[in-house]
Amino acid sequence: MPDLTDKQTFSDQDALDFHRLPAPGKISMAPIKPMATQRDLSLAYSPGVAVPVLAIAADPDKAYDYTSKGNLVAVISNGTAILGLGNLGHMASKPVMEGKSVLFKRFADVDSFDVEVKTTDPDEFITVVKNIGDTWGGINLEDIKSPECFVIESELQDLLDIPVFHDDQHGTAIISTAGLINACHVTGKRLEDVKVVLAGAGAAGLSSIALMKAAGVRAENTVICDRDGVVYTGRPEGMDQWKAAHATDTPLRTLAEAMVGADVVLGLSAKGAITKEMVASMAPNPIIFAMANPDPEITPEDVLSVRSDAIIATGRSDYVNQVNNVLAFPYLFRGALDVRARRVNHEMKIACAQALAALAREDVPDEV
């Protein structure tokens, strides 16, 4: 079994060089039809292009037959919540959005390109995306801060007839729920019995705890914590309608108190939020998902130094035992595009989590 603390390393300069050389960025565009002759060019553009133009004008659904719409996803952000780095602006989000597009293509052969919207106003963002949304077969919203992200996704889904999917919410929920299903399988625990603590009540955390409840975790066995402490029923400060929906009637007031005797902690907050002392206080065979990016709430080294019986996973690709959204979103969109789904519903997300959990338990070859 590999050492969970083993990880690959690279320098900041390595990362900059990767993005700059041999050409800046990570994506490009290439034609999928031959462009070798005058006839090819005449069909691709004027005068031949007029024929599908008229066909689509008569029936807009023909765009799926005569354009790339059916295999095209936009990755759209305003940069207000980039990874775990915060609000750094729309252009700072571009490397992440390009990276997302690369993953769509690499893992599910979905064509994708990025759109960075220069506004922090939710209504303005919604208007921009609504007016260009018909270009694509689906929209992946990314790195938009909470609680605005909830309103943006909901309104766009109602305005457009293509899937609008905020991956920070639902991709994270799918892969963390799949991981929890299998962690319970390994430890012999049952979803309906485990006590789950959520550290971080943002978009990813609230969506994840909601899907875990739908998968079998009991609401009364959950405790949610944010920067102000436990989200308890009637708490006066730092609340909104989305947190209030998951508030519990509990005397606990801090993350440290909540983690005493807990079976599971789901970290979707910030580096250093979970301490060794907190992990040491958990139930036998604790399950720790430290999924903050780019740096987890606690490292595998620190977890294993106090709890050798722990299951520890992070969201990073350079640690073993990774729980990362790339395990879900490319394939979910692949399926949604193939059937021309108009939205990604709750049942699809649960099915995706269960399928991913089952797939992870299958035997794999020693060499590929």
Catalytic residue numbers, as ranges: 45, 100
H-type alpha helices, the chain: 12-20, 38-44, 50-58, 63-66, 94-108, 122-132, 148-159, 167-187, 203-215, 241-244, 255-259, 276-280, 300-306, 329-338, 346-360
Phi/psi for 28 (5° steps) reads -150, 175
Whether the CB-CB separation of 324 and 289 falls below 8 Å is answered with no
Pairing of strands 264-267, 196-199: parallel
Q: Name the one residue in this structure whose structure tokens are 């759209």.
A: 76
> Whole-angstrom Cα distance, residue 171 to residue 208?
9
Nearest to 33 by CA among 21, 45, 24: 45
**What is the full DSSP assignment across 31-78?**
-SS---SHHHHHHHSTTTTHHHHHHHHH-GGGHHHHSSGGGEEEEEE-
Residue 287 three-state SS: strand
> Whole-angstrom Cα distance, residue 346 to residue 331?
16
| DSSP code, position 95 | H
